[in-house]
Amino acid sequence: MATARFGCRAISRAFTHAFQRRRAPCLLHELGKRSYVASKVQLEDLYRSRKDAAEAEVASPDQNPEAIFANNELSLSQVEVYGFDYDYTLATYTPDLHKLIFSLGKEALVNRLKYPGEILQLEYDSDFAVRGLHYDVRKGLLMKIDQFHNIQLGTVYRGLSPVADEEVKALYEGTHIPVENMNTFYGSGRMHQMVDLFALPEVTLISMVTEYFIKNNISYDPEYVFYDIRNAVQAIHSSGILHQAIVRGLDRYLCRDKCHEVKLLLEKLAGEGKKLFLITNSGFPFIDVGMEYMVGQDWQELFDIVIVNARKPKFFKEGYRPFRVYNTEIEAPEWGRVTQLRKGVVYHQGNLHELQKMTGWYGPKVLYFGDHVYSDLIDPSLRFGWRTGAIIPELETEVCKQNSPVYKSSVRWLIALQHLIDEMQHQNSEESKDMIKAWLAERSELRVFTKSLFNPHFGSLFRTYHNPTYFFRRLARFADIYTSNLTNLLRYSTDYTFYPHRILLPHEPSLYTARVAERTSTHAERTNTHADRSSANSELH
Contacting residues for 426 by C-beta, under 8 A, at least 6 apart = 34, 35
Contacting residues for 286 by C-beta, under 8 A, at least 6 apart = 243, 246, 247
DSSP 181: G
263: buried, middle or exposed (CB in 10 Å: 19+, 13-18, 0-12)?
middle
Which of 225, 236, 50, 64 shows the shortest CA–CA distance to 139? Answer: 225
Which of 25, 28, 22, 56 shows the shortest CA–CA distance to 42? Answer: 28
Contact, 316 vs 384, CB < 8 A?
A: yes
Verify whether residue 85 is a known catalytic residue.
Answer: yes
Verify whether residue 146 is a known catalytic residue.
Answer: no
Which of 235, 147, 226 shows the shortest CA–CA distance to 466? Answer: 147
Main-chain phi, psi angles of 267, to 5 degrees = -65, -40
Contacting residues for 323 by C-beta, under 8 A, at least 6 apart = 307, 338, 341, 347, 348, 349, 350, 351, 354
Q: Alpha helix (H) ranges present in 403-510?
A: 405-424, 430-452, 470-478
Contact, 181 vs 191, CB < 8 A?
A: yes
DSSP 150: B
Which of 444, 472, 466, 464 shows the shortest CA–CA distance to 144? Answer: 464
Which of 193, 153, 204, 127 shows the shortest CA–CA distance to 397? Answer: 127
**Residue 399 and residue 537: Cα distance in Å, rounded?**
52
Contact, 526 vs 97, CB < 8 A?
A: no
Q: Which of 45, 52, 62, 87 is catalytic?
A: 87
Q: Which of 45, 85, 304, 371 is catalytic?
A: 85
- Active site (catalytic) residues: 85, 87
